[in-house]
Amino acid sequence: MNIKIKRDEFVEYNVAELKGATLLEILNYIKTKIDPSLTYSSGCRSSVCGSCAMRVNEKEVLACSYKVQDGDVIEPLKNVEVIRDLVVNMDKAYEFNAKSKAWINKSASTPDVSQENEKLNEVQSDCILCASCYSACPVYAVNSEFKGPFSLTRVYKYVSDVRDSDAKEKIDVIQTSGIWDCTLCNECTMVCPQEISSKADIEKLRMKSTQYGYMDPNFGSFGGGLDFL
C-alpha cells in the first residue's frame, strides 16, 4: 500500500504492513519509524479535539478517523497558510469567531432552558473547530474576509440560545462578509465530521436577519436603476 503526502513536494511512502489503519496511525508510523521530519498535528486521536483535519484525495477528513486506502493523496487544509507539511496556521481562521462576536451576551439571571430550546442548537455546540468546513468553502477564493462556516454556525448557536441577551449585536456584524456571501453550495456540510450543516445555519441566520429588518443585498442590485445602466 502506497500513499502520497504533500510536503515541499509530494512524497510517496510504502505502508504495506498497516492495512486497515487510520491515517493518523500511519502518519505516526512514518514519523517514528521512517522519517521523523514529517510534520502534522494530532491530539485526542478520538475525533473530538479538532487537531488533525487534513485533505485526502481533495476531501477534508480527520486523520484519526479516516481509514487509509491504497493510492491516497494527503494534503494540508486549504484557505489557510501552510506552516510545514500538513500543519497550517489557524490564527486568521479563528479570528473570525471574534469578528462575528460568537459568544453569549450574558443575561442578569439565567432563564431555564427547555428540552426543546436545548435541541435548537445541540448539534451546533458539537463543533470541534477542526476547520474542515473552512477549508472546503469556495467563497474564500473571492472573499478572504468571509466570516465563514464555523464562525457563522457559532453565531447561530448563540442567537438561538434563550440565555443570550443581545442577538442583534451578532446579527448586525454578520451582514458584512457574512451570511449573504455564502453561495449555499453545501460543501461545508459534506465534510463536517460532527454532522453540522453550516449552510443550514446560515439559511436560518438569513431568516433571523430579515426579522431584524435586514434584506438580501443580492436582491437590491436588481432594483437599483443606475446599476442597470
Q: Considering beta carbons, is residue 84 or 185 the nearer one to another protein?
A: 84
Q: Which residues contact 62 (CB under 8 A, 6 or more apart)?
A: 47, 50, 52, 53, 130, 132, 193
Q: Which of 164, 166, 172, 203 binds another protein (CB under 8 A)?
A: 164
Asked if residue 152 lies in contact with residue 198, where contact means CB atoms within 8 angstroms, the answer is yes
Q: Which of 42, 175, 186, 189 binds another protein (CB under 8 A)?
A: 42
46 binds another protein (CB under 8 A): yes
Q: Which of residues 72-111 bind another protein (CB under 8 A)?
A: 83-84, 87, 89-91, 94, 97-98, 101-104, 106-107, 110
Q: Which of 30, 51, 63, 132 binds another protein (CB under 8 A)?
A: 51
Q: Considering beta carbons, is residue 138 or 160 the nearer one to another protein?
A: 160
- The residue among 73, 79, 75, 65 whose CA lies nearest residue 23 is 65
Q: Considering beta carbons, is residue 126 or 145 the nearer one to another protein?
A: 126
d(C-alpha 151, C-alpha 70), whole Å = 35
DSSP state at residue 158: H
Q: Considering beta carbons, is residue 4 or 163 the nearer one to another protein?
A: 163
Residue 3's DSSP bridge partners are: 13
Q: Considering beta carbons, is residue 180 or 188 the nearer one to another protein?
A: 188
DSSP state at residue 8: S
d(C-alpha 185, C-alpha 194), whole Å = 18
172 binds another protein (CB under 8 A): no
Q: Write out 88-138 in H/E/C secondary structure.
A: EECHHHHHHHHHCCCCCCCCCCCCCCCHHHHHHCCCHHHCCCCCHHHHHCH
**Interface residues toward another protein, by CB under 8 A:** 31-33, 36-37, 39-51, 65, 83-84, 87, 89-91, 94, 97-98, 101-104, 106-107, 110, 112-115, 117-118, 121-122, 125-129, 154, 157-158, 161, 163-164
